[in-house]
Amino acid sequence: MNLYFNGCSFTYGDELQDPKNSAWPPLVAKTLGCNSLNDAVICGSNERIVYKTLFASNDFDYFMIAWTDYTRFTEYNPVDNFEINFNASLTLDVSLHYSDDLKNNYKKYKNYGDLYYKYWFNELYQFKKWLQQIILLQSFFDVHKKNT
Q: What is the pLDDT of residue 78?
A: 83
Considering the chain, what is the average pLDDT of its residues?
89
| Span 13-28, average pLDDT | 96
Look at the chain and report how many structural domains it folds into.
Answer: 1
How many alpha carbons fall within 13 Å on the CB side of residue 101?
12
Residue 134 belongs to what domain range?
A: 2-143
Residue 116 has pLDDT above 50, yes or no: yes
Task: Tell me whether residue 127 is in a domain.
Answer: yes
Residue 148 lies in a domain: no
- Residue 87 near residue 70, CB atoms below 8 Å: no
pLDDT at residue 44, as a whole number: 93
Percent of the chain at pLDDT > 90 equals 68
pLDDT of residue 80: 80
pTM of the model: 0.88
Q: How far is CA 51 from CA 22, 66, 76, 115, in A?
A: 25, 14, 11, 24
* pLDDT, tens digit (0-9, with 9 covering 90-100), for 51-107: 999 999 999 999 999 999 999 999 988 888 888 888 877 655 444 444 555 666 777
Under a CB-based contact definition with an 8 Å cutoff, are residues 141 and 129 in contact? no
Q: Which residues contact 15 (CB under 8 A, 6 or more apart)?
A: 9
